Amino acid sequence: MEAPKQVPMVKEQDGVWTYTTSMPSPELHTYCFYVDGMRMLDPSNVYMIRDIATHTNYFLVDGELSQNYFVYEVPRGTVSKVWYPSPTLGMERRRMTVYTPAGYEDSNKQYPVLYLLHGAGGDENAWSELGRAIQIFDNLIAQGKAEPMIVVMPNGNGAQEAVPGEYPNSMYKPSFANPKTMEGSFEKDLSGYHEVCGKSLSYYK
């Protein structure tokens, strides 16, 4: 993937600044503006995503590689923000995002569980909001390309209860380098984590 780069815009006779590019490749593309050296979002584009502590505008270009990023008229799953106890990390409660497939609430069958962990600096919102995981699972399951499953998206930052701002005394700027991240505190006992989640989420069949 190419590194982000700045490209100059041209001021037209009517005072409007423009930039024209060839058709971008099928993908989710992000961008922002720099005005007199100051980074700004596009005030005409309401579609924004957060990557750690940075917000950017985005747009989707349809094509084979990006087709599952879009929302289609397919059965849709349910997304829940679930709090659970975490004795391994010494916390009374932590939050994770959980996806259950369409029809889950009305079914007595057992479902496989996928634990989907974000990269460095992410949190329990990263896959569902930045990675478009919900749209991808809905579309792949509807196409028969994926088995209906439960997807657990935890917060892999061992020092956080949840996304900054979502628990007491947490109104701070998200950071790429968080304590107890990528050093094993969270990952050291996945079997125990599975057991804790299973007990906490008793409605998971």
| Alpha carbon distances (Å) from 1 to 27, 79, 89, 122, 203 | 11, 30, 35, 19, 41
Closest CA to 159 of 175, 146, 144, 148: 175
| Residue 40, both tokens | 């700004």
The reply to whether the predicted model has a pTM over 0.75 is yes
Query: Judging by DSSP bridges, how do beta strands 113-115 and 150-153 pair with one another?
Result: parallel
DSSP per residue, 104-147: GGG--S---EEE----TT--TTIIIIIS-HHHHHHHHHHTTSS-
One pLDDT digit (tens) per residue for the chain, 205 residues: 566 789 999 999 999 999 999 999 999 999 999 999 999 999 999 999 999 999 999 999 999 999 999 999 999 999 999 999 988 888 999 999 999 999 999 999 999 999 999 988 899 999 999 999 999 999 999 999 999 999 999 998 888 999 999 999 999 888 877 777 766 666 654 544 454 444 334 334 3
Separation CA 141–CA 122 (nearest Å): 25
